[in-house]
Amino acid sequence: MMKKSFIWVIIILLIGFLLGGITYYLLSKAVVQPYTPFTPRVPKQIEETSRAFSDIVKAVSPSVVNISSMKVVKRQPSPFDDFFDFLYPFPDGRGRKWKEQSLGSGVIVSSDGYIVTNNHVVEQADEIKVLLIDKKSFKAKIVGSDPKTDIAIIKIDAKGLPMIPWGDSDKLQVGEFVLAIGNPFGLSHTVTMGIISAVGRADIGITDYENFIQTDAAINPGNSGGPLVNIKGELIGINTAIFSKTGGYQGIGFAVPSNMVRIVMDQLIKQGKVTRGWLGITIQEITPEIAQKFGLKQSEGALVSDVARNSPAHKAGIIRGDIILEFNGKKIRDVATLRNMVAQSRIGSQVEMKILRRDKEIIIRAIIMELPADLSDVVPSSLQSTDMNESALSGVTVMDLNAAIAKQLGIDRDEKGVVIVKIEHGSSAEDVGLRKGDVIQEMDRQRINNMSDFNKMTSKIKTGDSVLLFINRSGKKFYVALPPQ
């Protein structure tokens, strides 16, 4: 019996030891282990890329300046000024004149103090101050400005300044990395990064000559006039404007390309003004509808809608309806491309153009003249007159143009054609933007001198046909394709 009791004691002890061991093991596992910091393994290529961007900023930032301009604004005097001066003899800050201050950016382009910025940053300024990265302050003077591109050149009296190298904006590719450096909201030397979203942006309505670089690098008020640089640290554009509904960054910014800036800068420094080339033509975009009527496979080139009398184009033999395909060997994508090429051409130089005229390509050479100061003095080359009768085309009612009506419409009294007097609501003419008072001078590239010509042409139009019209609207001439009803 004792022997059995002893065996049970041994068994119980063994079970106790076993349970104790299991408990100890479980408790030891439950103890929180000390935290060991984790160091991420960053690929060497990423480290090098990060350092490269930092190096670009270090190289470029010294050439970027903060510009503050001040102008005195005067209020027009009022007959009641003396009375209010008597009632309120102490100034309250809202007197007859006050100071307005604006902030912007600029970039040093020469070691002797020439700085590029935007015209709107320094326009009408009475005093301009430039602050360098080392906090040195200088008074600046305006060397010249060009509102048509929104570029201005200012100068400070200093030597040995850090200057930015120029890049070739014609070689830019969409998707390239870029940095924008400036003073948004007065925050000195702020750097933002993005890509080139588009090149050759035009018809935005910011300046007369537009060929903008579009970027998503953050640009805000105060960035105006600052540089847009590539990964080589070269100046490829001057930040000029943003597309925004709030006044702040929304991912769309525009910069004037460096090649355009350089041409403007050189002329402003040497001549104090910008002279632009002139051919004497009015041009318009080629829409798919117009391309179809002209028998074109692509909507490329610039359509000549008018030629000024005695202009270089007129003397060279360019006529209305010509399509300019190339200018000095360079392909013309759109109206803005040709406009900028002509404007940047040297005065007195000969240019060569490839023209498409009625399905035949020809070469025409012209001598560039200087753009007239007042284009209202330029007389169109097409001159003409008429009687009276009435007809309709796809909801359009017209009548003969005469000298009295021409005077009311603000066009040359000798112009010929038929004038639109009524457009039906919902018609194709209304859809394409024709208006009462527009003068039809061609239909399907056939001259319309009067109602007789108009009626002859309308009788040839079949159901489902589209019609190419040449319109004179208060002296502005253009083609429009009228689709079938």
* Binding-site annotation, residues: 120, 150, 222-224
* Closest to 133 in 3D by CA, of 105, 157, 110: 105
For the chain, how big is the Rg over CA atoms in Å?
A: 35
Query: d(Cα 146, Cα 269) in Å, to the nearest integer?
Result: 12
Both structure tokens of 54: 């930092």
Query: What is the DSSP code string of 246-292?
Result: SSS--S-EEEEEHHHHHHHHHHHHHHSS---EE--EEEE---HHHHH
* Active-site amino acid positions: 120, 150, 224
Are 223 and 105 in contact by the 8 Å Cβ rule? The answer is yes
The token pair that represents 363 in the structure block: 């070469």
| Class of residue 480 by CB neighbours under 10 A (exposed 0-12, middle 13-18, buried 19+) | buried
* Distance separating alpha carbons of residues 129 and 139, to the nearest angstrom: 5
Question: Reduced to 3 states, what is the DSSP secondary structure of residue 450?
Answer: coil
Answer whether 461's CB lies under 8 Å from 270's CB: no
Q: Which positions make up the binding site for substrate? A: 120, 150, 222-224
Q: Please answer whether residues 435 and 423 qualify as being in contact, where contact means their C-beta atoms are separated by less than 8 angstroms.
A: yes
What is d(CA 428, CA 473) in angstroms, rounded to the nearest whole number?
18
DSSP 126: S
Partner residues linked to 392 by β-bridges: 397
